[in-house]
Structure 1
Amino acid sequence: MAEAARFNDTEHDADHSDDAVWLEVVRKMDEVYQDLLRYEVELETKNAELESLRQFFASVLDSISDVLIVCDLEWRIEAVNAALSRLVGQAQETLIGASFFSLLADTDRERFCGGTGMPVVERHDCECSVITADGTTTPVSFNCTVRRDLSGRVSGVVITGRPVGELRRAYEALREAHEALQRTQGQLVHSEKMASLGRLVAGVAHELNNPISFVLGNVLALKRYAERFQRFFAACAAEGACAPAIQTLREQLKIDRALADLPRLIAGLEEGAQRSREIVDALKRFSAVDGGEMHEVELVEVIRRGVHWVTSSVRGAFRVDLALPESMRVWGNSGQLQQVVMNLVQNAADATADLPEGRLSITAREENGGWRVDFIDNGPGIRPEHLPHLFEPFFTTKPVGQGTGLGLAISYGLVEKMGGKLSAANNHDGGAIFTLWLPAITS
């Protein structure tokens, strides 16, 4: 009985061991199944990410406006973007496998790379004609770079290109716009000159009145003398006239004094005519439309002349004090510089118009290889919020109808074109200070 019991125990242990093995196998299978499920989920996630990246890069490539071509070592097309498809009028699938050189005009195939069969080479800014969808050709600037695989070996080329026809048209439009801007700028400069000239008419009339008065006065005197000379010489030529009668008539007509006065009258006529011509020439130089030719200019003369013109037309008490050296030679345009000086002096006169006595101090000194000229007035100064906009076109603080807003803007441009600088600030003692700097001529 004992032996039977031991046999039954042994059989029971064997059954129990088999069950444990099967449970372990089931457990392992479950783990493997779970791993497979996890790997499948991860694989699907990776595939989704890869598809998203593929779509992203495809959309980026198709959004690029430049042409993109990928070729193998035999110059066969492996990939293109939508820009090339639109340019040549062929579907992207149709272009795959075609030769890159089939896209080029016959005259440019040899020039790009020597034709088919040549080794892969790099090219930069190589302009070739590409056959477009309508059968015509358009110039395209190509860049060609070598493409390598993961091991570093050359596996093909990447070609990018940009149609230059649109760029040329854009450059042409830009050139035309620039020329139109230059013409407009010249017209604005001339308009501002005419506006300044109109403000000076009263002063010019006063300046011309003096020499004209000299001429008219002397002409009237000469007219009276001519009548006396005619009577005297007629009496001398009269038949039977005696010497005492001629002498008496000579004394009555004051012939000797008239003869002595003739040189002075003629000199006065000459001086008045010369002065009138100088005034007219100065006006012609100022109002003339010039090309901005640069030449040597004596800045002291320009400043004195500009101050004289403005102060001759300003009403009220306005005094200009000059502290200038004997000579300031600069390289520029005398007419344009005079316009700048007149604008600065006129602005000072306008700024101090409401004061009992307006004053402008003009001083000059050498600085940084050039001449610095300060225009300092005793006006109310410039408001801080206006300082950044002072040289902008059409910006003005004057009432409507009293200022165009172009004077300072044009002056700034003219000075800058001559290699100089024009700036504005508030003087620490009150009033505004405009600083003009121009490179000096030292030789």
Structure 2
Amino acid sequence: MTGDTRQRKIRIRRTLIVAAFGIALVLFMWQGARLAREQALTELRHAAGNALQLSRANLIGYLTRHDYLPHLLATRESVRRFLARDERTRDTLTLNQLLDRSRAYADVSDIYLLDRDGTTIAASNWQRTDSFMGQNYAFRGYYRQAINGRSGRFHALGTQSGARGYYFSAPVRAIGHASNTPPDGVMVVKVGLDEIEREWQSLDATLLVADINGIIFMSSDPALRLTAFQPLSKSARKGLLSTRRYTDEPLPESGLRVLETLPDGARHVRLGDQDYLNLSQPLARFNWSLHILQPMRPIVRAQWLGALAAGGSWMLIALGSAIGWQRYRLRRERERFAERERQTLAHARDELERHVDARTRELVASNHHLSQEIEERKRAEQTLRQTRDELVQAARLAVLGQLAASINHELNQPLGAIRAYADNARILLARQRVDDADTNLAQISELVERMAAISAQLRQFSRKGGETLTDVSAQACFDYALRLFHARLEASEIRIVSQMSEPACWVRADPVRLEQVLVNLIGNAQQAMSDSTERQLILTVKQQDEWVVLSVADSGPGLSEEAMDYLFEPFYTTRAAGKGLGLGLSISQRIISDLGGRLEACNRPEGGALFMIHLPAATSSNAPLPEGPADA
């Protein structure tokens, strides 16, 4: 090899080393920036979520604290007498002053009274130029709700003042008119929104409230008020104009663009030339959604710092590697020099025999180690089976604990009633009113029977099922499961839709194990709908030839593709850590299989999950099921 060729190879090698060093530096800086971005994004999402939750609670408290006021004013005798008088004999000034004092005391925007036709006949702002006196508001939603006998709620721009407000209304009946007669007027309270928006402006973020049409009704940024997330359709604009909710405002687009959808419902959006992290929470009571726009400047700053830190780390690593490589080359040169001196035939023979002997010892040791691993694997499998059985029992006890908490809630109500009836009975006996006292004692007896039935439900669920299959009414099993979940479903505001066929459908099953499966499915549906705006539980029983199909459907988010693949796998769960063992559906599938049926799951076309239990129909349905759960 000539000297020029050798020098050329050295230059090529150095160029490749420098290029590899540069590529590695770029990759390190990119990875450091990515990790820093993820960490900063997590911290920013946590901070924005806390601010959003606090602002949501503050907004709900600010609006609902005046919910009582229209009802309180509607029951005042002076207001009811005012409506009962003829227009010529009414003392309008006195009532206007009363409404103005109430407005100042409650710290609200305006209070006014509408007659049966929706015309303002008294108002707290009667002396102002933009007074509501004589104005007709029959087109407003709060008037239509209250004139139909219900409490009214409505948000809109004022047609006189142009100020945004949230309206509460209540029906008013004149003196001498019973509560079941049509209202004679409507009391309205308007709450201004500027104060809560001023509090939002102290945050290092933008808060905004959008209605069901995507119109931004409230915002800490005045430029976003009365704009829309998406262009409004003609039908939506027509509906808004009918109620004059936003008067004649053009409602242009806000210019908010979604750039990326992030985990946990967060979004990366852009408004103008600035990027934001967007989180939202529903305000189901008002049919609104609350959004927060958190600037992403800290994330960009964290990315640069992460890239610089990663680049510096790579430089240190490269320097250390270069030093290590140089020492390695020197050591290799010394080893090659020594190796050339030991290359003799005798040494090669001795080396071969040594390697053979060492390899034999390694094989013996490997066989011994393999035998030990086989024994350890057997012990591990035995431990795994024992642990799995313990987890199955833990899952059942967890469900039992949740049901016990619900039944404890159910027992508190009759216990309070028993105490009240007992105290009344003592007073009645002291007054020699024996018949009335007997009535109270009869009520106590009925409540005790109700508590015994509730306790029997818990004993029924806690006992083990039998191996013998009997004729079981599918509808009665659903009724039992619903009784156990009555308190939890009512607390979660879940509406139950029962689609049971008549007459009752009978299956061959063990009632205890079948009821356990239904309790598990209903509990999963209740958990799935915890964040849903519309909460509806649909229970269905129908017979198809020789099979009976029991269905449990919900209006939750449904099942993901990953969940569909691993739904019945043991220990698989979509809940947060510590919220479930992932054994409920696996155990339920095994129970239904033992009963000779099958358990299937799918997503409903209209949204939500659907679980279907297929069980063989009973050949005879003559044996009736007991009215309540049997005693253990």
TM-score for the superposition, normalised by structure 1: 0.50
TM-score for the superposition, normalised by structure 2: 0.35
Tell me which structure has the larger Cα radius of gyration: 1
